[in-house]
Amino acid sequence: MKQTALLLASLSLALALPAAVPAPEKLLAADTLAVLTVPDWAKSKVNFGNSPQGQLWDDPVMKPFRDKFTAKFTSAFLAPVEKELGIKLADYASLLQGQVTFALTQNGWEGKPNQKPGFLLLIDTKTNSMLLTTNLATLRKQWVDGGKQIKTSKIRDVEFTTLIFTSDELSKSIGKIFPNSDAAKNDSNANAETLEDPKPKTKAEKIEWLLGQSDSLLIVGSSAKDIEKVMILQSGGPVPPLAEQAGFAANAATMRDSLSFGWLNTKTIVDIALKETARAKGGKPNANAPFAVDQALSTLGLTGLQSLTFTARDSGDGLHVNFLLNIPEAQRKGLFKILAADAKDSSPPPFIPADAVKFNRWRLDLQKGWATLEAMLIEMSPQMSGVIKLVLDNAGKDKDPTFNIRQSLFGNLGDDIITYEKVSRGNTVVELNNAPSLVLLGSRNAEQLAGSLRAITSVMPQQMTKYKEREFLGRKIHSLTLPQQGGGQPGQPAERSLNYAASGGYVVFSSDNAMLEEYLRSSEGGGKALRDLPGLNDAAQKVGGMGTGFFAMENQSETARVAIETLRKDSGAVGAFLGGSPLGGRLGLADDAKALKEWFDFSLLPPYASLAKYFYLAVYSGTVTTDGMNFKLFTPTPPLLKK
């Protein structure tokens, strides 16, 4: 009797619990164009809290900075959103329990102007399905109370609410949440005459978003057909799932056990673009166009790109991020043929100093790359072949009638590109943004390559034609004027130059003359090398080692130290620096550079010594296989955080 009661209780509990929601690839249909998902939100939230970034944010020493940002975020973003939507976002935060997935669907889209892809937002609330029901009822009521339209319908016997609004209403709502700095000006300025012609008013577009609940799953979408496919797949019905889509299935193994992953069906998108191009021109080429769009897509190599995949996972010893370009070797051409570096040694050479904070080395065959680029330009626009030949045949002839650019410049290119950077010399934001760096270009005859650059100044932009040269430690340093940076803002150099010299099988470039001289002084070696940095080799093994053809690293302990100490002392300059950007305009920095301090008051940050334990290294690599190109990032757990 006791066993029977226990069995009945277990059965009742099982019936009361919602059925498990299928994984994203089994919940979305095969016509999905793109997906970005967090398979288990609760797990990822815990993982972030335990990560160096999460621990840094929660550290008590960050409280003054964190509290000020949180208060501003609440008043400037959360409060306007809640007022506009008539909801409390905190009531919805607890709904995020299982997978959270956003997807774009084809939805009958074939590239025509009157067609658009659909979207889906899927949130598994798990045991909070009753709260979801309550919140949806509240949202419907508040939407209607706000004077907005709704309609109801059923999809597979489940009631869905359609929220109806226009593109104008959406723009106004966004404007209330993110007011442009221009909108804050007084009426007299807003009504002032301008020299610009008035922009034609576009017709408001009707927008309909459907939302409803299927067991524990919140479904929001723009297409009833897409939602129906999700519900059929949720119940195990006969709709081909994304998991069976060939492009997705080929990369499914790389997404397994990820904290988050994304996938983009580039093949279908490019195919649709090609079909629309053919339809638009009706089989007749546009004589006025410099090149045909379909020809350009093929020449650039985009027709061979099957998909893009992103994954992020925590292995326990650090964070791994992968970007995979699925482009089979047989279909690789254009840009992808240029970017496919051979698997050669890409480790830091012995002459890279230990105090370099950023380093990357790319074993790209520059001669083959140039030949491919030239052929690509001619294939894309055959009428340009004569222009390209004319320019190359005459380049440098004004200074040396015997100069041959193909022999002296392209013929001397090697297969090695190295860049490295040191910490900024000063303690201002401008100096932080202009840290000293070097670029080393491998060459078969570095002296001849360096000299050839002087000969081709006639085909360079006019701002770079001012040339100087001088001797330094027996080597010739060449200098070309660079365009002024930052529009002549205070703190920016009045004039900059690109300085370069031949040394040890490389032509070495830098806009920082002192950095170049320091390199030439130390080219014989003898000092501590970057390759001996503690932890670097172990971290590199996590991304496939340093022999893949592309390797990069950042000493985040040092870059974070300089950045934090600079921001603490010169936080006001950040607002001026960002004022001209779109983000700066939305934050009001275009009118008042000090407005950034209301959001990010860097003067409240603690000294770097209190935060040093959260920073360490980051390493990157690029690998080329027969299936595609794989770019890996690994950030190991800082030693002081290991338990």
CB atoms within 10 A of CB 309: 23
The reported pLDDT for the residue numbered 102 is 97
pLDDT at site 19: 73
**380 & 523 share domain:** yes
- In a domain? residue 135: yes
Tokens of 353: 């100093």
User: Residue 9: pLDDT above 50?
Assistant: no
Which stretch of 47-56, 117-126, 380-389, 578-587 has the lowest confidence by average pLDDT?
A: 578-587
> How would you write 109-162 as a 3-class SS string?
CCCCCCCCCEEEEEEECHHHHHHHHHHHHHHHHHHHHCCCEEEEEEECCEEEEE
What pLDDT does 535 receive? 94
Average pLDDT estimate for 545-556 = 96
The pLDDT value recorded for residue 307 is: 95
Mean pLDDT over 158-172 rounds to 82
Checking if the pLDDT of 198 tops 90, the result is no
Region 474-501: what's the mean pLDDT?
A: 71
Contacts of 541 by beta carbon, 8 Å cutoff, 6+ apart = none
Q: Return all residues near 19 (Cβ < 8 A) that are at least 6 apart.
A: 215, 216
pLDDT in the model for residue 286: 53
Mean pLDDT score, 500-525? 88
Extended beta strands in 215-284, E state: 217-221, 260-264
pLDDT at 192 over 50: no
pLDDT in the model for residue 52 = 95
356 and 234, same structural domain?
Answer: no
pLDDT bucket at 10, cuts 50 / 70 / 90: very low
State the distance between the two ends of the chain, measured CA to CA, in whole angstroms. Answer: 50
Amino acid present at 234: Q
What residues contact 573, with CB distance under 8 A and at least 6 apart?
428, 429, 430, 491
Sign of CA dihedral 504, 506, 510, 513: positive
Tell me, what's the pLDDT at 194? 43
- Per-residue pLDDT at 13: 41
pLDDT of residue 574: 64
Half-sphere exposure of 465 (CA within 13 A, CB side): 9
pLDDT of residue 567: 87
Burial of 537 (0-12, 13-18, 19+ CB in 10 A): middle
**Domain total in the chain:** 2
Residue 555: what pLDDT? Answer: 97
Q: Which residue has the higher pLDDT, 465 or 72?
A: 72
Model pLDDT for residues 52-98, shown as the tens digit of each residue: 999 999 999 999 999 999 999 898 888 887 777 677 788 888 899 99
At 17 the pLDDT is 52
Of 453 and 224, more confident:
224
Reported as a pLDDT band with limits 50, 70 and 90, residue 183 is: very low
What's the average model confidence in pLDDT over 275-297?
A: 68
Q: Is the pLDDT of residue 461 over 50?
A: yes
Q: What is the pLDDT of residue 77?
A: 83
What is the mean predicted confidence (pLDDT) over 562-577? Answer: 76
Question: Contact at 8 Å (CB) between 376 and 367?
Answer: no
Alpha carbon distance 442, 121 (integer Å): 49
Q: Average pLDDT in the 271-298 region?
A: 72
Domain termination site, one of 494, 510, 528: 528
Shared domain for 372 and 507, answered yes or no, is yes
Q: Are 59 and 272 in contact (CB under 8 A)?
A: no
The predicted-structure confidence for 571-618, as pLDDT tens digits, reads as follows 666 655 555 555 555 555 555 556 777 888 888 999 999 999 999 999
pLDDT of residue 162: 94
Q: Would you say residue 337 lies in a domain? A: no
pLDDT at 636: 96
Distances (CA, A) of 392 to 275, 378, 395, 628: 36, 13, 5, 33
- From 365, 362, 517, 373, select the one nearest 440 (Cα to Cα): 362
- The pLDDT score that the predictor gives to residue 200 is 58
Confidence of residue 487 (pLDDT cuts 50, 70, 90): very low
Across residues 370-396, what is the average pLDDT? 82
Any domain includes 33 = yes
Residue after which a domain boundary falls, among 492, 507, 528: 528
175 band by pLDDT with thresholds 50, 70 and 90: low
Choice among 143-152, 400-409, 531-540, 593-602 with the minimum mean pLDDT: 593-602
Q: Which stretch of DSSP H or E encloses residue 201? A: none
For the chain, state the CA radius of gyration. 29
Percent of the chain scoring above 90 in pLDDT: 51
Task: Give me the DSSP letters along 312-368.
Answer: EEE-SSEEEEEEEEE--GGG--THHHHH---S---SPPTTSBTT-SEEEEE---HHH
Bigger pLDDT: 537 vs 570:
537
Lowest mean pLDDT: which of 34-48, 286-300, 500-514? 286-300
Quick one: average pLDDT of 474-485? 80
Same structural domain for residues 377 and 237? Answer: no
In a domain, 321, yes or no: no
Domain identity same for 359 and 238? no
* Winning range, highest mean pLDDT, from 80-84, 144-148, 181-185, 511-515: 511-515
* H or E element at residue 578: helix 556-578
* Separation CA 507–CA 501 (nearest Å): 6
Q: Give the per-residue pLDDT at 148.
A: 84
Does residue 523 surpass a pLDDT of 80? no
- Is residue 178 scored above 80 in pLDDT? no
What's the pLDDT score for residue 431? 80
Residue-range definition of the domain harbouring residue 366? 349-528
d(CA 454, CA 431): 29
426-443 pLDDT, tens digit per residue, is: 777 778 888 999 999 999
Q: Is residue 70 in some structural domain?
A: no
Structure confidence by residue, pLDDT tens digits, 252-268 = 888 888 999 999 999 99
Which has more pLDDT, 333 or 393? 333
Q: Residue 274 pLDDT more than 70? A: yes
Q: Is residue 260 part of a domain?
A: no
Arithmetic mean of pLDDT, 458-467? 64
Nearest to 310 by CA among 301, 322, 325: 322
Q: Do 354 and 224 lie in a common domain?
A: no
Does the predicted TM-score (pTM) go above 0.75? yes
For residue 516, what pLDDT band results from cuts at 50, 70 and 90?
A: very high
Amino acid at 514: A
Quote the distance between the C-alpha of residue 64 and its chain's center.
Answer: 30
Give, as one character, the DSSP assignment of residue 38.
Answer: E
At which of 500, 528, 556 does a domain end?
528
**Of 287 and 472, the one with more pLDDT:** 472
Q: Provide the mean pLDDT of the chain.
A: 84
Residue 413 lies in a domain: yes
Q: How is residue 89 annotated by DSSP? A: T
